A and B are shown apart, each in its own frame.
Chain A
Amino acid sequence: MSGVGTNMTQPFLSMQNVSKRYVGVQALDAVDFEINKGEIHCLVGENGSGKSTLIKIISGAVRPDEGAQIEIKGERFLDYGAIDAIHRGIEVIYQDLSLFPNLPVAENIALSQIVARGNRFVNWRDVQHIAEEAMDRIGVELSLDELLADILIADQQLVAICRALTRDVRLMIMDEPTASLTRKEVDSLLAVVHDMQSKGIATLFVSHKLDEVLQIAERVTVLRDGEKVGTFSSQELDDEKLTMLMTGKRVEYTQYVAEGQNDDVLLEARNLSKRGNFQDISFQLHRGEILGITGLLGSGRTELALALFGANPPEAGEILVRGRPTHLNSIQEAIGLGIGYVPENRLEQGLIMKQSIGKNIVITILKKLLNEFGLIDLNATQATIHNWIEELSIMVPSAGSPAQNLSGGNQQRVVLAKWLATDPDILILDGPTIGIDVAAKRAIHDIIRELAKQGIAIILISDEVPEVLQNCNRVIVMHKGRFIAEYDPQQATVDEVQDAIYLAGNYSRYRPRS
């Protein structure tokens, strides 16, 4: 896809026979990896495939086992470490961005440069200058005096890139850079990556989002269970093929066709409005239906979901549950009416990460588990926990281990289990597969479909259009707080829906913030 590939084929980094064994686990097994100067390369694989170990080895944070050969620009390294990586221009932008929320943007950009220079004193004009220079290199504009915590995530990402650019970067590694960006923001990020390419900077993307991978990468390296499956030119790949390479299984996307649906209306909204949230929302949700709602981040979809869960009461309009008007002023009320909500950010809202998996599952139904003395019945609790672990085939070391030890896919299952335990009729799922790899994603989709078949009415909110189209029997596009279009997934195409989302507004990224 990029014309510069041919004259830049000299490998910037070449690694052979890279292995890494941790106690009991072969994280990487004799992997060869190569990235050319100015190349855009993607590294994909499921959780536990060894991606992060490989990145850590490239950045020098982890040393490979004996026998590995590492060359940068033809120079061999015997004992390759973080200093070598930094001096050869390798920079990693981790998923958490590693920025300082309490410091101004300018300082965030310039700080590593100032530390690297070994200056004892800080010259603030210098800080400003370093930051401006970095922004100029990729043609972005950020307000340098603002605290980092006060700017958008997408802008924070640019700050992280600018910071890396303050050094003489040759290879930029980005770990899941698009996980919390909107589609539009992803596009501008990719534009920045192309811009860096024109300056001879190579980029190594680690991503779960296959469509992005294929959109930007020249080559894709696939890892599975610590072994390299291969490096492929992105032209020879498509979504399906890539999934197969990653999982080793053929995962077929099938269109969901509602089976359990009938005319029984479980949830109805009539002209719901709340200033600054959503406007004039009406819909009916039937038993066994999966209703998809998609739209940009900030389109009001999460606010609407919270309104239906009693956490963000609307100012006007009516909500009817099983035909009866309700107020839904509190979450307790919503749970009492059989509504469950799986939030967008499972790390912050969905799970108590340090608590055990078991406790996380039963937390919503503690009242149901009381014995005649009003104390928690431990046997019933254990039974419930094991039932759900089995039901959703959650892979756990034990029900007692903390939720933070689980992979993203399994965490999401725990969140689902927690809400299914309340025996809901209506389930609202907000971004249920964010940050989960393909196979796990597919498994979650299967669970969702199975739930619908059992007669639960489901609202599936996602910014991934293919996800809603494949798994819903009705898809609504939301924009600026309104429903602007409705589609029948059996007839609509991804592009059609995508267009509706973007053409709806001339969404400008650098709007002034007051």
Chain B
Amino acid sequence: MKKWLRRHETYVFLVIVLFSIIITSQNASFLTLENLFDLLKSYSFLGILAIGVLFVLISGGIDISFTAVATVAMYVMAIATIQYGGNMLTAFLIACSVGVALGLINAVIIYVFNIHSIITTIATLNIFYGVLTVLSGGKWIYGFPTWFREFADRRVLTLTNEAGVQYGLSTITLIWLAILIMAWVILRYTTLGRGLYAMGGNPDSAARVGFNIFRLQMFVYAFMGFLAGIAGVIQALLVQTVAPNSIVGKELDVLAAVVLGGASLFGGTGTLLGTMLGVALIAVMSNGLTMMRVPSFWYNVFIGLIIIISVSASAYRRRQRERRMIAVEAE
């Protein structure tokens, strides 16, 4: 019990429960299986990106460019798919390859030129996005093949509501879940994953222990790119059109979710459970405000407030703990 009280995740979870109770009291359709499945589908995009950002933060870096990477990956995938056909697998393969390549560019710049990751990725965000806008002329892309549209509606579990509308657990959610499990195994059970924590905690020591810092960094930004590629495809699946400006701008939402989940911008800390709770909190907030018919502008205000409260609360608890540690032996 005491162990749980020390964990950030517990508090995020309690806040989610509290919000859910408030929202349900205003609109009973919030706490329904249908709404839950719907959220799990539409937040796959944010949830997958959040996993990538968590990896980057744990390793002691930060990535702002992933939305641009996702956009480029999505665009390339869309053009190739519409022009040459293919299937879901090729769509994902193309998008992920683009994502990994762009992620590696980030890693190389950060490592070789020793530029801070925030500056590097702000720059590459602009470059990736800028080049795309120039080359595409900002054109929207429609007309995906039928198989692409069908995949978006595929479900592994289908239920029907009173109105006769079908709903259920989307395949897209399953992709998110699969990535989550993979990420969990990497972070907890591989030397690579522990290396990310080590590097985030103390990069010099990580190198001394025998980790190859460059390789770790390559992995972390490539993995971010890989997930950005998947997220790009999922975004295309969800909206069935590709617009150059549909993703860029969401960086801060994703970062907010990860930070709410307890990851530190200083590196070395953060858990998948926390990150997913962070995503859940943002989803519940956003969805709940809509359901309570609060104008959507308020959403930003609430997110901002929650971030400040959450981060100060964990800073406060840390200070309390430190105070206990340095307490003098005096009676």
Contact of B202 among A98, A121, A150 (CB under 8 A): A98
Q: Are B330 and A481 in contact (CB under 8 A)?
A: yes
B132 an interface residue at 8 Å Cβ cutoff?
Answer: no
Number of B residues whose C-beta is below 8 Å from A? Answer: 30
The answer for the CA separation of A276 and B325 in the assembled complex, in Å, is 12
* Chain B 167-188 interface residues, beta-carbon cutoff 8 Å to A: 188
CA distance A276 to B331 in the complex (A): 6
Q: Which of A103, A119, A120 has the largest count of B CB atoms less than 10 A from its CB? A: A103
Q: How far is the CA of A258 from the CA of B206 in the complex (A)?
A: 52
Determine the distance from Cα of A254 to Cα of B248 in the docked complex, in whole angstroms: 71
Q: Which residues of B contact A276 (CB under 8 A)?
A: 327-328, 330
Q: Would A99 and B205 count as touching, CB distance under 8 A? A: yes
Interface residue? A15 (CB, 8 A): no
| B194 x A107 contact (CB < 8 A) | yes
A480 at the A/B interface (Cβ < 8 Å)?
yes
**B330 to A116, Cβ gap below 8 A?**
no
Q: Which residue of A lies closest to B185 (CB)?
A: A121
Given the complex of chains A and B, what is the CA–CA distance between A514 and B197 in angstroms? 26
Q: Which of A263-271, A298-306, A359-367 contacts the other chain?
A: A298-306
A-side interface residues, number (CB < 8 Å): 32
Task: With CB as the reference atom, state the residue of chain A lying closest to B325.
Answer: A150
Given contacts A276-B330, A481-B331, contact A102 B200 (CB under 8 A): yes
- Asked if A278 is at the interface (CB within 8 A of a chain B CB), the reply is yes
Shortest CB–CB separation between residue B259 and chain A, in angstroms?
A: 16
- A100 in contact with B197 (CB, 8 Å): yes
Closest CB of chain A to B310's CB: distance in Å? 19
Q: In the complex the two chains form, is B330's CB within 8 Å of A115's CB?
A: no
A100, B194: Cα distance in complex, Å:
11
Q: Check B198–A121 contact: CB distance below 8 A.
A: no
Contact pick for A120, options B192, B200, B201, B210, CB 8 Å: B192
Q: A115-B210, A115-B211 are in contact. Are A122 and B330 (CB under 8 A)?
A: no
Is the CB–CB distance between A100 and B331 below 8 Å? Answer: no
Chain A residues whose C-beta falls within 8 Å of the C-beta of B99 in the assembled complex: none
In the complex, what residues of B have CB within 8 A of residue A107's CB?
194
Give the docked Cα–Cα distance between A298 and B328 (Å).
5
Nearest CB of chain A from residue B219's CB, rounded to whole Å: 13
Closest CB in chain A relative to B263 CB, distance in Å: 11
Q: List the B side residues contacting A482 at CB < 8 Å.
A: 330
Instruction: Kindly state the separation between the CA atoms of A298 and B211 in the bound complex, as whole angstroms.
Output: 37
- A112 to B207 alpha-carbon distance, docked (Å): 10
A98 in contact with B328 (CB, 8 Å): no
Partner of B197, one of A102, A119, A121, A277: A102
B154 at the interface (CB under 8 A from A): no
Residues of A within 8 A of B327 (CB): 276
> By the criterion CB–CB under 8 Å, are B191 and A300 in contact?
no
Q: B331 contacts which chain A residues (CB < 8 A)?
A: 279, 480-481
**Please, which residue of chain A has its CB at the minimum distance from the CB of B212?**
A115
A279 engages B192 (CB within 8 Å): no
Asked if residues B202 and A480 are in contact (CB atoms below 8 Å), the reply is no
Contact of A181 with B by CB under 8 A: no
Interface check B44, CB cutoff 8 A: no
Instruction: Provide the residues of chain A in CB contact with B330, threshold 8 Å.
Output: 275-279, 300, 303, 480-482
Determine if B204 and A98 form an interchain contact, defined as CB atoms under 8 angstroms apart: yes
**Who on chain A is nearest to B188 by CB?**
A122
Q: How far is the CB of A501 from chain B (nearest CB, A)?
A: 13
**Interface residue B209 (Cβ < 8 Å from any Cβ of A):** yes
Q: Given A120-B191, A298-B328, does the pair A98, B208 have CB atoms closer than 8 Å?
A: yes
Say whether A120 contacts B198, CB under 8 Å.
Answer: no
**A72 interfacial contact with B, CB 8 Å:** no
Task: Decide if A100 touches B268 in the complex (CB within 8 Å).
Answer: yes
Of chain A, the residue at the smallest CB distance from B206 is A100
User: For residue A101, which residues in chain B have a CB less than 8 angstroms away from its CB?
Assistant: 201-202, 268
Contact A111 B198 (CB under 8 A): yes
Residues of chain A in range 256-312 having any CB-CB distance to chain B below 8 Å? 275-279, 298-300, 303
Q: Which of B193, B198, B210, B324 contacts A100, CB < 8 Å?
A: B198
Chain A residues contacting B202 (CB-CB under 8 Å) are 98-101
**A 159-194 binary contact with B (CB < 8 Å = 1; else 0):** 000000000000000000000000000000000000
Cross-interface CB contact of A298 among B194, B209, B268, B329, cutoff 8 Å = B329
Is B198 within 8 A of A116, CB to CB? no
The answer to whether B269 has its CB under 8 Å from any CB of chain A is yes
User: Which A residues touch B205, using CB under 8 A?
Assistant: 98-100
Task: Flag if B197 contacts A115 (CB, 8 Å).
Answer: no
B321 at interface by CB-CB < 8 Å: yes
Task: Please tell me which one of the listed residues A100, A122, A277, A278 contacts residue B190 in the complex, with CB atoms under 8 A apart.
Answer: A122
- The residues of B that contact A116 with a CB separation of less than 8 Å are 210
Give min CB distance, A127 to chain B, whole Å.
9
Asked if A114 CB lies within 8 Å of chain B CBs, one says yes
- Is B189 in the interface zone, CB < 8 Å from A? yes
Given contacts A112-B210, A480-B330, A102 and B191 within 8 Å (CB-CB): no
Chain A residues lying within 8 Å of B193, measured Cβ to Cβ, are: 122
Instruction: Name the A residues within 8 Å of B188 (CB-CB).
Output: 122
Tell me the nearest residue of chain A to B192, going by C-beta: A120
Q: For the complex, give the distance between the alpha carbons of A509 and B32 in Å.
A: 56
CB neighbours of A122 from chain B (8 A): 188-191, 193-194
Contacts of A121 in B (CB 8 A): 189-191
Give the CA-CA distance A513 to B329 in the complex, in Å.
12
Q: Is the CB of A481 within 8 A of B329?
A: yes
What are the residues of chain B within 8 A of A303 when measuring CB–CB? Answer: 328, 330
Residues on A with beta carbons closer than 8 Å to the beta carbon of B324:
514
| Contacting pair B191 A115 (CB below 8 A) | yes
Please give, as numbers and ranges, the residues of chain B lying within 8 Å of A98 by CB-CB distance.
Answer: 202, 204-205, 208-209
Q: A112-B209, A121-B191, A277-B330 are in contact. List 18 more A-B contacts (CB 8 A).
A: A99-B202, A99-B205, A100-B201, A100-B205, A102-B201, A103-B198, A107-B194, A115-B195, A115-B210, A120-B192, A122-B194, A276-B327, A300-B328, A303-B328, A480-B328, A480-B330, A480-B331, A481-B330
19 chain-A/chain-B pairs, Cβ below 8 angstroms: A94-B208, A100-B206, A101-B202, A101-B268, A102-B269, A103-B197, A112-B209, A114-B191, A115-B191, A115-B210, A115-B211, A120-B190, A122-B189, A150-B321, A150-B325, A299-B329, A480-B330, A481-B329, A482-B330
Q: Nearest 4 A-B pairs (CB), nearest first?
A: A481-B330, A102-B268, A98-B205, A102-B201
